[in-house]
Structure 1
Amino acid sequence: MSDHTRAAEGAIAHAQARAGGPLRLGAGVAAPAGMVRLTRPDSTGEALPVWPDGVTPSLLEEYQVAPVSVERAGETRRVLAAVLKCCWTDLSVDPWPGDPAPMELVLDTYRALIGRTDDLMRNWARGALRRLHDSAWIVLDDGVVHLGPRCALWPVESHAQLQELVRRLPEPERPELTVVGDADIVAAARPETSVQEVPDGLGGRAEGDSAEFDDLLGGYDERRRAELVAAFMVVEQAAEPVPEVRFAALRDPALRHTLGEMLARRGRTLIQQRERWTSGYGDGPAAALGAMEAGGRLGVSERAVLTLVLVHSVAIPRAEGLLPEDSWLSPHPTPVDELRRHTQLPIGELEAAFRTLRHAGLLSQVKAGEEAGGYVPGPQFHRLTPGARRRLQEELILAAGPNTPLAAAVLARRSAK
């Protein structure tokens, strides 16, 4: 295999992991460069990208850059703390993979932590568990909770702080169970080493990642290397494009070229918006993901809702001259009532679609005083390359006016390729 082919496959693997979560690996299959391998008892595993030079997204706090927001972030953090309390039973070893715990024990621990027992609290906690599962921080499996693959990426330096957190969390009050006890639930959930089918995210050990950027960063002194790593982190993790004036690796053309090479190995590319920068999928990896349907977790309902928001919040205001031609972000929210009327989806299915799209950063909810407000395109639309913007514009034309001359021109141009 040539170096070019290997690099292209590595970039696509990283793009897959970012779009769809940890990559599944067969028994004995090594993780791609820049990823850590989490090995399960049956020798299969999962691969997760790691950050360069051991940094974490908390680096954004040092630069006072806002990360991508998490819905109900406080509750989500507290629920994750409750999961850690229940699953990290032996503080003398690393937290991951930990032990399985009944979901009811986690909910009771969360109740003890916040001092509330009402149904609203329970609904919030269940929503947080769902978000944590979707983002691979935990694994929910038939009423049992496990620490997810992302917990394996906690730096060793943070373990002492996490241990202190676990010690400080209150013990839940658990009445005696007359049907199935916690120990029986845990024993039933614990995988046998001889079993071949193990739920995703369960495992036995994390195997170190291989160096990925040493050849690119090795020629720089410590300060320049740190500037490159910082710029890499902020363009990948910040909620909004960041001003180049604040980061040397974005201002300096030579450093910016190296930063672009780093991103390319992850299937990403730099995207400039005047004097601000962010990152997005390169057109090549994006096309490969589309062909493989990797990360394509949006169902018909989510696609329908997203299309309606783009039509009402972007296409119509743009046609009325209220938005620039190339903008996919909008101050014009699509009212929830409008979405309910046009999607004809059941309320539960519509709310689930909203939740999925918010979690993916594809929609943002806007409150409008005493009114219900609505939805606008989310921060992920900052990350569109020019090619992706053009393709999205064409798809919107086909969705909004499939029988128009403009749609016919789009179809003719595509068929001519």
Structure 2
Amino acid sequence: MNDSETALWWARTRAAGPQRVAPSSAFPAGMLRLVEPDVTAVWLLAVVPEGARPSVLDELGLPALAVEQPNDTARVLAACLRCCWAEPTGSMWPGTPASRQQVAAVFEELTNRDEIASHRALLAAIRRLAGAGWLLWDESGQTVRLGPRVAAWGSADLSALRELLRILPSAANIGHGDPELGDDQP
């Protein structure tokens, strides 16, 4: 890959975030290549050094994370991690698909809001996270999967996230009692 092609890939990543391309596509150095589970496409993601400060993002021309409604967005991302990260001791990418209902159950448990307000906040946050590449949202199928950006989290981040998952409610146990406590009431 020549310098012009490399510069073009970096410009695309800076402007639009992770790029979804054909598996046979060439890619420049400094990009992480994530293969979709069905091997029909790969995601190219800029690799940022672990522990990099915001100034490094500025140098690379990559946007820092800035979102509307950061609390709801963070809670929805946590709910999606809980539902989509099938084996927390293993790799986060590509994760497993989860239904909107599963994610909603965890989100509602975290926020304790009425159903209408919770639904509105959930969908808005899913769309924001999908637009930024943190999630992959299939609106017609009402399923969500972890996006390519989660693969860039370093070992310190993953350790903290594993600890977070340990305390988050599981969609499978919500409304069914806690089997460890012998509470099997609906």
TM-score category by the smaller chain? 0.7 to 0.9
Q: Which amino acid aligns with 2:29?
A: A
Question: Residue 18 of structure 2: which of 22, 27, 34 is its match?
Answer: 22
- C-alpha distance in 1, partners of 2:43/2:170? 32
RMSD: 2.1
2:121 to 106, 121, 124: 124
User: Could you tell me how far 1:174 is from its partner in structure 2?
Assistant: 5.1
Where do residues 252-401 of structure 1 align in structure 2 (5 Å cutoff)? none
- Matched-pair contact (CA < 8 Å) for 2:135–2:146: yes
In the alignment, the residues of structure 2 paired with residue 55 and residue 152 of structure 1 have an alpha-carbon distance, to the nearest angstrom, of: 15
Q: Give, as a single letter, the amino acid of the residue that structure 1 aligns with 2:7.
A: A
Structure 2 counterpart of 1:60: 54
> 2:95 — aligned with what?
98
What per-residue deviation string (whole Å, max 9, x for no partner) do you get for residues 216-260 of structure 1? xxxxxxxxxxxxxxxxxxxxxxxxxxxxxxxxxxxxxxxxxxxxx
Distance 1:118 1:43 in 2: 37
- 1:291-346 CA-to-partner distances (Å, cap 9, x unmatched) read xxxxxxxxxxxxxxxxxxxxxxxxxxxxxxxxxxxxxxxxxxxxxxxxxxxxxxxx
Q: In the alignment, does 2:110 pair up with 1:113?
A: yes
What is the correspondence of 1:397-416 to structure 2 with a 5 Å cutoff?
A: none
Contact 2:32 2:47 in 1 (8 A): yes
The TM-score normalised by the length of structure 1 is 0.37
Greater helix share, structure number:
1
SS in 2 for 1:146: strand
- Most deviating of 40-49 and 135-144: 40-49
Partner residue in 2 for 1:33:
29
- Aligned partner of residue 88 in structure 2, secondary structure: coil
Asked if structure 1 preserves the Cα contact closer than 8 Å seen for 2:136 and 2:145, the reply is yes
Query: Conserved in 1, the CA contact under 8 Å of 2:9 and 2:27?
Result: no
The aligned amino acid for 1:29 is S
Paired with 1:114 and 1:24, the residues of 2 have a C-alpha distance of 33
Larger gyration radius, structure 1 or structure 2 = 1
Aligned to 2:180: none
User: Sequence identity of aligned pairs in percent?
Assistant: 35
Residue 54 of structure 1 aligns to a residue whose secondary structure is coil
Alignment check: 8 A CA contact 1:25 1:46 kept: yes
1:71 corresponds in structure 2 to 68
1:331 alignment counterpart: none
Q: Taking CA–CA contacts closer than 8 Å with sequence separation of 6 or more, which of the two structures ends up with the larger relative contact order?
A: 2
Q: Any idea what the Cα deviations from partners look like across 1:39-62, whole Å, max 9, x if unmatched?
A: 1232631101112x4334xx239x
Q: Is the 8 A contact 2:83 2:170 kept in 1?
A: no
Q: Distance in 2 between matches of 1:22 and 1:69?
A: 16
Moved over 4 A (4+): none
* Residue segments in structure 1 that go unaligned for 5+ positions in a row: 62-66, 176-417
TM-score by length of 2: 0.79
Give unpaired runs (5+ residues) of structure 2: 56-63, 177-186
